[in-house]
Amino acid sequence: MREWWIDAIRSINVHGSYPYAQCELTSPPSIFLDQTDSLSKFEADLDSGDLDRLLAALDNKDIMNANVLCPFGCTEFCFKADVIDWDVILQRYFLDTVLPLYSKSKHVNLYSMSPHYFRDKDDYDYIMLNDRWPIRPTIIFTNDGPKVLTCRHHGGGDDHLRLYPPRPPRHNLSADQTDQLSHCVINPHIACSTKQNKFTTTHSMARQYGGFSGLDTMNVSTTGDWSKPSVLMAEHESNIIHGRDDLVHWLSLQVQAKKIHPELANNLIALSEAMTPKGLLDKYRQGATFVPFADSVKLHLAQSFDEGNAGMITAINSRNESVQCRRSWARTVNIVQMEDTTRFGYQFCSIPALSPHRKAGMMAWTLCSILSSVKELWHTIDSMTVPFRHNGWEGYLLTFIQTQVFSFQTIRLDPKSPFKKITTFTSLIDMINKFAHATPNIDEDDTDPFHLYQFSIEFMRNIFSSTHHPTISVSNSVIDALSIDGSLYEDKNAIVIVGSDLPDDFGNNDVGSPDKIVLDNGSSFELRSIVLLRGKDFYSRNANKFEAIRYMRHGGHYSNWWKQERPDNVVTRCSQNIVAELLGNRQNNESSPSQFEQHVLVYVKEETPDVDQWRNKILQSVGGMPHVQCACNQFPLIPSNAQPGKKEKCYKCHKVESFVCCNRDCPLRMCKSAILCCQQILLQRLI
């Protein structure tokens, strides 16, 4: 296809330069491998019934090898592959602009596409390390247009979230042992290992043991097996130690405990420095996805403590009855993050345009924007201390966002829940305007734009009322927020600013924080979300006729911004410093009398996680007693798993032990009665 358009792009003039003038038919190389002719010939040979053609088809390595790279990281045979429209693939790759899509494929189905799908030509993996058999993105041309090949399970895309580990720096071969350099080592019960034959290999076989406590195919230990030398294992270990100060410290502890010889520890560190120079893994770590520590702890604690009630909430139904029902939304959102040297982080989900005829959807669009992009705000609403009410907006809006924005996570609706799914935008807008109605500035004056668009700071204060959401503060400007005594923000988690026109300031310019609110008590709030709104033509009396754009970022290390305009169905990256750009636009802005301009800023408190508190909660979730800690390691006592005949005596009353120290060398034992008598004490180690 390149010969059809190469002359056209060569003449493209960008500010006096011709960036595509050097393009040739073969240079730069195509990111896709075209298998249209090869696949058509293969299928024709199979259908011919001719033995010679059949043998030739089966000997075609381009078709018989599993050389198709799926957008989700899988590999597949060309003749077994499924397809997806290529324009949505390109949109997922070009994150700096919104492309006009011609297909009906949904962009959400590629939201979790592998970030390693497109690479440099020589950076793809090879089958059996044979550089003549690369595994590459593949395309074919059909009667319906170009189609990208996927594996047989991902035709049309997939909307489930996925985690992608960092790529191996040298090759994709793995050692025959699990990683031995770890705090816990997994040892599978191997009954028969993989063996190489003349034309194939045999499968490995593992033993599975079952009992009343469950099934297992492996053991977990705290010590590794260093008796088997392996070049592949040495490469794994060098990658593991690189940049991991915690593992270097763990190695020193193992040496002190005489579990690892000092010479072995020194050799492991020296080998890592020699095989993995500084900066080598940065390229292969780029794009790897993970769940941040704070989110993983929240998910673990929610699952552990809610195991008995399956994440139930207390809700007041229309009969004014208090009922226990399951949430119809997730406990936290945007839980997947990625390694990104460009500081953008993982792409945000887009929100719908909310375009019902002549309905005032400005506030509904804003709430969907800030709740879906600011995870701390979502968690604050989800963790309300008062019950969710049938005549409150929280349950309905969280349910709507879950189904419309985070549809990849399916949550069944509890029949007892008063918050039924809202299937239309009109119902959502009516619900918000009904349950959090704002008093217009001029009594029922149709000439008041605040009344027409149902958007004002009074409306926002009704939404985040201090009665239901005491940790959220609403102000009309950054200056107003800074004028309040800092002690009043000690229990606040978020600040919402609602004002007219473009913002005058985004933070404390005098302390070098143009996008942060730093209070006199030392508390700092980071800007996470910016929503700009403009009524197109107030005199047309159409409340739904407005423009909107939202900017959002993950915060912390991920300081760059994403954006979405109201008509767009995809979130794109901002190429410039959006705060500086908006401040510049503020100076040149001329507002028309017929325009209604508003902005909403959301700031989130910057806090250092209390690791000790999280540790105690995690240990409590697995049966530990956080209010009783042993002095030998400051860890809570855990339930004893000793056999009834082998249990020792409590150190206080000599009853049978029920709780022990997690340190195997510690002799501390306590019974249930002694545990109940303890109140926030730190026990001394028994000698």
In this prediction, residues 74-78 reach a mean pLDDT of 94
48 and 120 together in one domain: yes
At position 453, the amino acid (one-letter code) is Y
- How far apart, in whole angstroms, are the C-alpha atoms of residue 651 and residue 666? 12
Q: What are phi and psi of 32, to 5 degrees?
A: -110, 145
Confidence of residue 684 (pLDDT cuts 50, 70, 90): very low
Q: Residue 592: is its pLDDT beyond 60?
A: no
Which pLDDT score is estimated for 603?
95
477: Cβ–Cβ under 8 A, 6 or more apart, which residues?
A: 497, 499, 503, 504, 505
Distances (CA, A) of 158 to 107, 149, 520: 10, 14, 48
Q: Residue 620: is its pLDDT beyond 50?
A: yes
- How far apart, in whole angstroms, are the C-alpha atoms of residue 613 and residue 272? 34
How many Cα atoms within 13 Å fall on the side-chain side of residue 629? 17
Residue 24 in domain = no
- What tokens were used for 256? 């002190």
CB 335 within 8 A of CB 500: no
- What tokens were used for 302? 């929610």
Residue 136 in domain = yes
Residue 305 in domain = no
- What tokens were used for 14? 């960008």
Residue 563 in domain = yes
DSSP 401-423: HHHHT-TTS--PPPTT-S-PPP-
421 and 538 together in one domain: yes
Which pLDDT score is estimated for 153?
93
Which pLDDT score is estimated for 661?
85
Burial 414-446 (b: 16+ CB within 10 A, else e): beebbbeebeebbebbbbbbebbebebeeeeee
Strand-pair partners of 314:
324
Strand-pair partners of 472:
494
Strand-pair partners of 12:
none
Q: Residue 6: is its pLDDT beyond 60?
A: yes
- How far apart, in whole angstroms, are the C-alpha atoms of residue 484 and residue 602? 17
Last residue of a domain, one of 578, 605, 632: 605
CB 208 within 8 A of CB 244: no
Percent of the chain, pLDDT > 90?
27
376 and 524 together in one domain: yes
CB 425 within 8 A of CB 361: yes
Which pLDDT score is estimated for 441?
42
605: Cβ–Cβ under 8 A, 6 or more apart, which residues?
A: 376, 489, 492, 493, 494, 523, 524, 525, 526
- What tokens were used for 483? 């004028």
631: Cβ–Cβ under 8 A, 6 or more apart, which residues?
A: 682, 683, 684, 685
CB 332 within 8 A of CB 409: no
Last residue of a domain, one of 99, 133, 150: 150
- What tokens were used for 105? 């494929």
Domain range spanning residue 357?
Answer: 313-605
Residue whose entry in the numeric block shows the structure tokens 């050692």: 175
Residues 481-531 pLDDT 10s = 888 887 888 889 999 999 988 888 888 866 567 888 888 878 889 999 999
Q: How far does CA 566 lie from the centroid of its chain?
A: 23
- What tokens were used for 304? 């552990």
28: Cβ–Cβ under 8 A, 6 or more apart, which residues?
A: none
Number of neighbours of residue 399 by Cβ within 10 angstroms: 21
In this prediction, residues 65-70 reach a mean pLDDT of 94
- How far apart, in whole angstroms, are the C-alpha atoms of residue 251 and residue 274? 18
Q: Residue 364: is its pLDDT beyond 50?
A: yes
**Residues comprising the chain, all counted:** 687
CB 476 within 8 A of CB 497: yes
Which uninterrupted H or E stretch holds 249?
helix 245-256
Residue 294 in domain = no
256: Cβ–Cβ under 8 A, 6 or more apart, which residues?
A: none
Confidence of residue 254 (pLDDT cuts 50, 70, 90): confident
Q: Residue 682: is its pLDDT beyond 60?
A: no
Which pLDDT score is estimated for 680?
47
Residue 264 in domain = yes
Residues 345-358 pLDDT 10s = 999 999 988 877 77
Count H helices, E strands: the chain? 20, 30
Which pLDDT score is estimated for 512?
66
Residues 168-226 pLDDT 10s = 888 888 888 888 888 888 888 887 877 777 777 787 788 888 877 778 888 888 888 88
554: Cβ–Cβ under 8 A, 6 or more apart, which residues?
A: 334, 337, 345, 346, 528
Mean model confidence pLDDT for the chain: 85
Residue 472 in domain = yes
600 and 626 together in one domain: no
Which pLDDT score is estimated for 310?
53
8: Cβ–Cβ under 8 A, 6 or more apart, which residues?
A: none
365 and 269 together in one domain: no
495 and 552 together in one domain: yes
- How far apart, in whole angstroms, are the C-alpha atoms of residue 390 and residue 314? 11
Which pLDDT score is estimated for 673?
84
485 and 377 together in one domain: yes
DSSP 56-101: HHHT-HHHHS--EEPTTS-EE-GGG-EEEEHHHHHHHH-TTS----
Q: Residue 432: is its pLDDT beyond 90?
A: no
- How far apart, in whole angstroms, are the C-alpha atoms of residue 181 and residue 254? 11
CB 649 within 8 A of CB 656: yes
469: Cβ–Cβ under 8 A, 6 or more apart, which residues?
A: 380, 381, 384
Nearest to 519 by CA among 480, 555, 546, 485: 485
Which pLDDT score is estimated for 442?
40
Q: How far does CA 158 lie from the centroid of its chain?
A: 16
Which pLDDT score is estimated for 440?
45
276 and 406 together in one domain: no
Residues 16-66 pLDDT 10s = 888 888 888 888 888 899 999 999 999 999 999 899 999 988 888 889 999
Residues 155-172 pLDDT 10s = 988 888 889 999 988 888
Confidence of residue 305 (pLDDT cuts 50, 70, 90): low
Confidence of residue 679 (pLDDT cuts 50, 70, 90): low
Burial 124-151 (b: 16+ CB within 10 A, else e): bbebeeeeeebbbbbbbeeeeebbbbbb
Which pLDDT score is estimated for 437?
57
Confidence of residue 672 (pLDDT cuts 50, 70, 90): confident
Q: How far does CA 285 lie from the centroid of its chain?
A: 16
Last residue of a domain, one of 584, 605, 626: 605
pTM confidence score? 0.86
State the total domains in the chain. Answer: 4
Confidence of residue 594 (pLDDT cuts 50, 70, 90): low
- Between 147-161, 244-258, 671-685, the lowest mean confidence (pLDDT) is in 671-685
Q: Residue 134: is its pLDDT beyond 80?
A: yes
- What tokens were used for 85? 């429209």
Q: Residue 590: is its pLDDT beyond 60?
A: no
146 and 256 together in one domain: no
Which pLDDT score is estimated for 351?
92
Cis peptide before 28, with omega less than 30 degrees from 0? yes
Strand-pair partners of 532:
549, 599
Which pLDDT score is estimated for 588?
65
Which uninterrupted H or E stretch holds 524?
strand 524-535
80 and 196 together in one domain: no
- How far apart, in whole angstroms, are the C-alpha atoms of residue 556 and residue 125? 34
49 and 132 together in one domain: yes
- How far apart, in whole angstroms, are the C-alpha atoms of residue 157 and residue 103? 13
- What tokens were used for 113? 């596409």
Burial 179-209 (b: 16+ CB within 10 A, else e): ebbeeebeeeeeeeeeeeeeeeeeeeeeeee
Residue 2 in domain = no
Which pLDDT score is estimated for 513?
73
91 and 208 together in one domain: no
Nearest to 628 by CA among 594, 583, 658, 586: 658
CB 326 within 8 A of CB 414: yes
- What tokens were used for 418? 């008063």
CB 440 within 8 A of CB 448: yes
Which pLDDT score is estimated for 540?
65
- How far apart, in whole angstroms, are the C-alpha atoms of residue 601 and residue 373? 12
In this prediction, residues 72-91 reach a mean pLDDT of 92
Residues 328-351 pLDDT 10s = 898 889 999 999 999 999 999 999
